[in-house]
Amino acid sequence: MRTLFLNPPSYDDFDGGAGSRYQATREVWSFWYPTWLCYPAGMIPDSKVVDAPPEGLSQETVVKMATDFDLIVLHTSTPSFTLDCRTAKMMKEVNPKCVVGFAGGHVTAEPEAALRAGEAIDFVTRKEMDFPVKEVWEQRDWSDILGISYRKNGVIHHNPDRPMLGNEELDALPFVTPIYHRDLDYLKYNSPYCQYPYVSLYTGRGCPARCTFCLWPQVTTGHSYRVRSAENVIEEVREMPKLFPEMKEIFFDDDTFTADPPRARRIGELMKPLGLCWSTNSRANVDRDTLKTLKDGGLRLFVIGYESGSDTILKNIKKGVSTERARRFTRDCHDIGILIHGTFIVGLPGETMETIEESIRFAREMNPETLQVSLASPYPGTEFFRYVQDEGFLVNSVYNDEAGYQRCTVTYPNLSSEEIFDAVERFYRQYYFRPSYIFKSVKKMVKSRDERKRLLREAGEFFTTMKKRRDAAA
Ligand code: SF4
């Protein structure tokens, strides 16, 4: 079966594909690699990965591709699901014989509803898609394939879950970067906090933390951090400069790369002789010695989910890291010279006007290099979703506006969805438009032409985005 792995087009510049934790059009140009699709693609000869959003491919263009394939696997998300169903239906109309499967967190959380809503969907994979898709491609009897739900003769069946892949199985998977090289254009991917061009990959899957809002560990990757060996990671990394000659930075996009500090240090030590610049995701609770080893091994930046400056909210969402611990960690990073991209969320359980102000003050105190403020999005399958649904705080199920920007879907007795929505822009402005931050940015622009170009472009994109989301809300 000639197989197409498709991250379908939906909204313009929608960063919501197989690699994106928060599915939305971003404030500035940003695309994650469709890494999840590239694993099974690496196991299926003659397959093809098409990532429509960064390529700017229209629905019409991808629909025409259907004639060339027997099996089409689409990665979907909660905000794009309805549009993705439409794309799948049109592909089936063009090639009625093709088998269509959907993958991703949304169909894992609601497989029955997904199969009922999408008449063109033949099967969905739940949790890890690697081997379920491969076994469909091998044309095994679907009733024997663990981890899929499917439709047969109009009846929907749910097979038992498939056990998560263990460490050794992760080591045995193909590398994703040769698939990027084969099917994607790495110059079309950007992360605002990574140096351009960047290339990302996973060194492990899952996160032991229990943050109630976080989609992947609760729905697809699980709470045990399963890891590739450091040697296996380095074997892949070593080849990357040849595959991507202009690459300036590698991003280890594990849920929490530092969840296993001895292993993180081992990778840091093995990275050192390679002389490559890299960044990764972490929680704000890493010890100073580990930080030093990672910095020594080429670590440039951490993405840190501070989420809130209120300890009450941090407890409500089971973050497991207090503001005090985050302060100490941040001081250590500043001392050692590790940059931070800090992420915050407004609208989490317990949020009030006062806690939003607390978060803004805390963000300014932490003073990360760059900042991201998201609206709390209760995706199906998360504890946060169940909470807002049970309490009657979920006001609508439309997660994004017509341009793909996040919409506020929750409201609380003391805080309306409008107030939460407005707080995002206020948060950004109060963070970025400080004399000290402006001065730092000007210094960067004076020093480097590339930085000047990037900052000016991002500033322009930021203002345009804020206007568009305000207009859409109005
Ligand atoms: S630490 Fe990060 S990846 Fe892990 S559950 Fe919390 S938000 Fe998700």
Q: Is 71 in the pocket of ligand 1 (CB under 6 A)?
A: no
Q: Is 214 in the pocket of ligand 1 (CB under 6 A)?
A: yes
Output the six-digit token pair for 309. 């400056």
Do 247 and 186 form a contact (C-beta atoms < 8 A)? Answer: yes
Strands 3-7 and 71-75: parallel
Q: Which pLDDT tens digit goes with each residue over 136-194?
A: 999 999 999 999 999 999 999 999 999 999 999 999 999 999 999 999 999 999 998 99
Q: What are phi and psi for residue 287, nearest 5 degrees?
A: -75, 155
d(CA 468, CA 451): 25
Q: Give the mean pLDDT of the chain.
A: 94
d(CA 23, CA 399): 9
- How many angstroms does the Cα of residue 213 sit away from the middle of ligand 1? 9
Q: What are phi and psi for residue 471, nearest 5 degrees?
A: -65, -45
Q: Calculate mean pLDDT across residues 388-413.
A: 86
The residue ranking higher by pLDDT, 450 or 381, is 381
Q: Which pLDDT tens digit goes with each residue over 406-419?
A: 789 999 999 999 99
For the packed helices 130-137 and 35-43, what is the interaxial angle rounded to 10 degrees? 40
Output the six-digit token pair for 360. 């803004």
For the packed helices 353-366 and 323-336, what is the interaxial angle rounded to 10 degrees? 20
Do 13 and 25 form a contact (C-beta atoms < 8 A)? Answer: yes
- How many angstroms does the Cα of residue 209 sit away from the middle of ligand 1? 6
pTM exceeds 0.85 for this model: yes
Q: Calculate mean pLDDT across residues 30-53.
A: 96
d(CA 3, CA 46): 7
Report the pLDDT value the prediction gives residue 474, as an integer from 0 to 100.
Answer: 77
Q: Is 283 in the pocket of ligand 1 (CB under 6 A)?
A: yes
CA 139-142-147 angle, to 5 degrees, is: 115
Quickly name the fold that domain 3-158 has: Rossmann fold (3.40.50)
Q: Is 209 in the pocket of ligand 1 (CB under 6 A)?
A: yes
Q: Is 382 in the pocket of ligand 1 (CB under 6 A)?
A: no
Going by pLDDT thresholds of 50, 70 and 90, the confidence category of residue 209 is very high
Burial 414-442 (b: 16+ CB within 10 A, else e): ebebebbbbbbbebbeebeeeeeeeeebe
Q: Is 256 in the pocket of ligand 1 (CB under 6 A)?
A: yes
Q: Relative to the CA of 210, which ligand 1 atom is closest?
A: 5
pLDDT at residue 41 is higher than 80: yes
pLDDT at residue 294 is higher than 90: yes
Report the pLDDT value the prediction gives residue 19, as an integer from 0 to 100.
Answer: 67
- How many angstroms does the Cα of residue 282 sit away from the middle of ligand 1? 9
Closest to 412 measured CA to CA, from 343, 351, 362: 351
d(CA 197, CA 191): 8
Q: Is 314 in the pocket of ligand 1 (CB under 6 A)?
A: no
Do 114 and 121 form a contact (C-beta atoms < 8 A)? Answer: yes
Kindly state the DSSP code that residue 259 receives in the 8-state scheme.
G
Output the six-digit token pair for 473. 């809300």
3-state secondary structure of 289: helix
d(CA 185, CA 202): 19
CA 299-303-306 angle, to 5 degrees, is: 135
Q: Relative to the CA of 217, which ligand 1 atom is closest?
A: 5
Among 283, 308, 321, say which to mutate for ligand 1: greatest number of ligand atoms within 8 Å of CB. Answer: 283
Report the pLDDT value the prediction gives residue 466, as an integer from 0 to 100.
Answer: 84
3-state secondary structure of 420: helix
CA 337-253-284 angle, to 5 degrees, is: 45
d(CA 323, CA 204): 27
Q: What are phi and psi for residue 71, nearest 5 degrees?
A: -130, 130
Report the pLDDT value the prediction gives residue 461, as an integer from 0 to 100.
Answer: 81
Output the six-digit token pair for 78. 């909660």
d(CA 149, CA 103): 11
Q: Is 303 in the pocket of ligand 1 (CB under 6 A)?
A: no
Placement of tokens 């313009």 in the chain: 12
Report the pLDDT value the prediction gives residue 13, as an integer from 0 to 100.
Answer: 72
Residues 6 or more apart in contact with residue 454 via CB below 8 angstroms: 196
Q: Which pLDDT tens digit goes with each residue over 245-279?
A: 999 999 999 999 999 999 999 999 999 999 999 99
For the packed helices 417-432 and 353-366, what is the interaxial angle rounded to 10 degrees? 20
- How many angstroms does the Cα of residue 281 sit away from the middle of ligand 1? 9
The CATH classification number of 192-432 equals 3.20.20.70
- How many angstroms does the Cα of residue 99 sit away from the middle of ligand 1? 34
d(CA 49, CA 38): 7
Give the number of C-alpha atoms closer than 13 A to the C-alpha of residue 32, restricted to the C-beta side.
Answer: 25
Among 22, 214, 285, 344, say which to mutate for ligand 1: greatest number of ligand atoms within 8 Å of CB. Answer: 214
Residue nearest to atom 1 of ligand 1 (CA): 209
Residues 6 or more apart in contact with residue 290 via CB below 8 angstroms: 258, 261, 264, 265
Report the pLDDT value the prediction gives residue 403, as an integer from 0 to 100.
Answer: 72
Report the pLDDT value the prediction gives residue 16, as an integer from 0 to 100.
Answer: 65
Q: Calculate mean pLDDT across residues 111-130.
A: 96
pLDDT at residue 66 is higher than 80: yes
Q: Which pLDDT tens digit goes with each residue over 296-332?
A: 999 999 999 999 999 999 999 999 999 999 999 999 9
Q: Is 305 in the pocket of ligand 1 (CB under 6 A)?
A: yes
Q: Which pLDDT tens digit goes with each residue over 71-102?
A: 999 999 988 899 999 999 999 999 999 999 99
- If one counts every other C-beta atom within 10 angstroms of the C-beta of residue 60, the result is 9
Residues 6 or more apart in contact with residue 43 via CB below 8 angstroms: 130, 134, 173, 174
Strands 48-51 and 71-75: unpaired
- How many angstroms does the Cα of residue 359 sit away from the middle of ligand 1? 18
Q: Is 121 in the pocket of ligand 1 (CB under 6 A)?
A: no
d(CA 70, CA 62): 14
Q: Is 211 in the pocket of ligand 1 (CB under 6 A)?
A: yes
